[in-house]
């Protein structure tokens, strides 16, 4: 539109220029020749000669520059509207304009080819993604930021009895999933997971793991989330069978271990006392206590997890627990030149809790601290009251725990890297259960290269408040 107006303005400008030149010429001739008839005839002849020249100049300017340029602009506008080039632009006009239009043609053809390649690539990737989603055994759904369904596989359609016309969770026709999915969608977290136990009638009771994960496509300015529903019934049965096996094995190990401890104690009393002999016996006693503690961890973990453990609550001295744990681990720590210490004074504090479970939890923390602390390092134990909690602290000088692993270490049998001695077994998982069974919690503060501090929070309540 702007080019057209410019060409029209140029046309008017040329005409005015020609007209003004004629008028000025006529006035000048009239002034010198006093309007003689001879001049009139001469001027008429001048007009007749100049007018074709004007028409020729105008035509040449438009045919060589203005018209080809306007045609090229219209072609480019049509290309961007239609997103394809039906035919190359006509090459005409001055040599410079021809070269310019030729470059425009080449550029548009390359853009068209690149766009076609990108579209084919996107379609290909889209087909691959759909195929992958369709063949997985899990139910998979993709939804937009307003919970509208974008895509779902056949498994999700059958399992959830989906109505694609409605948004989540209204589109879920299977009642046993509807409420749980609604709870998962209600949160603002980027990632959320839950387990659903569903009675599917003739299919029996199934256990499903549901996870929501947000996604974002910056190029399309589009956000949404993926919902994956996996049948973990077999995994749960296998885990239960594994726990039963471990429980049976560990239960049967208690009797022979007690026999070993008894005979070692008898040998220690009857053999002559030597410094080297006492050193060996201390290692045997420490290892047997450690093995016994591991057996107790497995048995206690299952009981606490299933809420079958008998909790013996009473008033205890937290500092006595700390002293007992230090005495238990000092022999092995001293062998590695590790100093275990505490400033907690016995007889000045009391806490209403299960001594046996709490001592086991603190002992597990100290065992890990000694394992991770390098030779000549320190492990510090402390107890304090703060904000209605009694807080046990175990601080080491180990390598530290990465920020993204701090929550994982409280799961069973977690090892957060491939280095030696970085596995946590059941110890920290049991510590968390002990804290939670008392109505408390466990936290970890850690900095890479500077060590870690584990904190067990136990509500500071008395018997009457429980």
- Predicted local confidence at residue 424, as pLDDT: 47
Q: What percentage of the chain reaches a pLDDT higher than 70?
A: 79
pLDDT score at 63: 75
What span, in angstroms and rounded, lies between the C-alpha atoms of 29 and 309? 125
Structure token digits, residue 273: 């006392």
CATH number, domain 314-465, options 3.40.190.10, 3.30.70.920, 3.30.565.10, 3.40.50.300: 3.30.565.10
- pLDDT of residue 163 exceeding 80: yes
Q: What is the average pLDDT value for the chain, to the nearest integer? A: 79
What's residue 420's pLDDT?
46
Q: What is the mean pLDDT of residues 78-105?
A: 79
* Chosen CATH of 237-305 out of 1.10.4080.10, 3.40.50.10490, 1.10.287.130, 1.10.238.10: 1.10.287.130
Instruction: Show the CA angle centred on residue 385, arms to residues 384 and 388, nearest 5°.
Output: 155
Angle at 310 between CA 307 and CA 312, to 5 degrees: 130
pLDDT digits (tens, 9 = 90+) for 248-287: 777 677 778 778 778 788 888 888 888 888 878 878 887 7
pTM above 0.95, yes or no: no
Predicted local distance difference test score (pLDDT) of residue 81? 79
How confident is the model at residue 382, as a pLDDT? 93
pLDDT in tens, 293-338: 777 777 777 777 766 667 788 899 999 999 999 988 888 888 889 9
Provide the pLDDT for residue 381.
Answer: 94
Task: Report whether 415 contacts 423 (CB < 8 A).
Answer: yes
> Is the pLDDT confidence value at 221 over 80?
no
- Report the pLDDT value the prediction gives residue 384, as an integer from 0 to 100: 92
Are 330 and 340 contacting, i.e. CB atoms less than 8 angstroms apart? yes
Where do the structural domains in the chain lie, given as residue ranges? Answer: 2-112, 136-231, 237-305, 314-465
Taking residues 153-173, report their average pLDDT: 86
CA neighbor of 381 nearest in space, from 392, 370, 367, 391? 392
Whether 165 has a pLDDT exceeding 50, the answer reads yes
Structure confidence at residue 22 (pLDDT): 61
pLDDT of residue 323: 93
CB burial readout 435-455, b (16+ within 10 A) else e: beebebebebebeeeebbbbb
Output 423 or 85, whichever has higher pLDDT.
85
Asked whether 429 and 441 are in contact (CB, 8 A), the reply is no
Please choose, from the candidates 314, 189, 312, 297, the residue with its C-alpha nearest in 3D space to the C-alpha of residue 253: 297
pLDDT at 455: 94
Name the residue among 343, 252, 257, 265 with its Cα closest to residue 299: 252
Please say whether the beta carbons of 450 and 402 come within 8 A.
Answer: no
Residue 49: the pLDDT is 63
**pLDDT more than 90, % of the chain:** 13
Strands 191-199 and 378-386: unpaired
Q: pLDDT tens for residues 243-258?
A: 777 677 776 777 787 7
Task: Output DSSP code: residue 272.
Answer: P
Distance separating alpha carbons of residues 378 and 278, to the nearest angstrom: 24
What fold does the segment set 136-231 form as a domain? Beta-Lactamase (3.30.450)
Distance, in Å, from the CA atom of 268 to the CA atom of 282, rounded to the nearest integer, reads: 10
Q: How confident is the model at residue 345 (pLDDT cuts 50, 70, 90)?
A: confident
80: helix, coil or strand?
helix
Average pLDDT over residues 6-22: 62
Query: Average pLDDT of 175-188?
Result: 81
């Amino acid at each position: 539109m702007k080019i057209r107006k410019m060409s029209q303005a140029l046309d008017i400008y040329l005409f005015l220029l020609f007209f003004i030149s004629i008028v000025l010429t006529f006035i000048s001739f009239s002034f010198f020749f006093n309007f003689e008839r001879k001049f009139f005839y001469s001027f008429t002849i001048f007009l007749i000669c100049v007018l074709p020249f004007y028409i020729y100049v105008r035509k040449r300017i438009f045919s060589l520059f203005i018209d080809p340029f306007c045609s090229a602009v219209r072609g480019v506008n049509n290309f961007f509207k239609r997103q394809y080039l039906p035919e190359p632009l006509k090459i005409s006009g001055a040599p410079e304009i021809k070269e310019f239009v030729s470059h425009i043609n080449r550029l548009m053809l390359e853009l068209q080819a690149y766009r076609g390649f990108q579209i084919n690539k996107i379609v290909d990737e889209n087909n691959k993604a759909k195929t992958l989603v369709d063949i997985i055994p899990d139910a998979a759904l993709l939804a937009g930021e307003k919970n509208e369904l974008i895509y779902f596989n056949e498994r999700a359609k059958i399992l959830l009895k989906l109505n694609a016309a409605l948004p989540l969770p209204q589109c879920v026709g299977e009642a046993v999933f509807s409420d749980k999915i609604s709870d998962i969608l209600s949160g603002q977290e980027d990632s959320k997971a839950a387990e659903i136990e569903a009675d599917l009638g003739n299919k029996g009771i199934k256990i499903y793991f549901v996870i929501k994960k947000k996604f974002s496509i910056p190029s399309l300015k589009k956000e949404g989330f993926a919902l994956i529903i996996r049948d973990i019934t077999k995994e749960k049965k296998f885990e239960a069978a594994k726990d039963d096996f471990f429980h049976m094995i560990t239960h049967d190990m208690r009797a022979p271990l007690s026999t070993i401890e008894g005979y070692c104690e008898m040998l220690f009393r009857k053999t002559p006392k030597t410094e080297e002999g006492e050193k060996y016996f201390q290692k045997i006693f420490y290892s047997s206590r450690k093995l016994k503690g591991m057996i107790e961890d497995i048995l206690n973990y299952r009981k606490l997890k299933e809420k079958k453990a008998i909790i013996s609550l009473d008033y205890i001295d937290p500092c006595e627990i700390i002293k007992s744990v230090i005495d238990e681990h000092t022999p092995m720590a001293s062998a590695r030149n590790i100093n275990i210490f505490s400033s907690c004074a016995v007889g000045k504090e009391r806490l209403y809790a299960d001594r046996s479970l709490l001592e086991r939890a603190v002992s597990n923390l100290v065992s890990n601290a000694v394992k991770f602390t390098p030779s000549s390092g320190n492990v510090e134990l402390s107890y304090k009251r703060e904000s209605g909690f009694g807080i046990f602290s175990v601080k080491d000088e180990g390598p530290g725990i990465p920020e993204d692993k701090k929550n994982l270490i409280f799961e069973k049998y977690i090892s957060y890297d491939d280095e030696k001695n970085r596995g946590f077994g059941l110890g920290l998982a049991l510590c968390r259960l002990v804290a939670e069974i008392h109505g408390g919690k466990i936290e970890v503060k850690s900095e890479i290269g500077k060590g870690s501090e584990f904190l067990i929070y136990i509500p500071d309540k008395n018997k009457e408040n429980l």
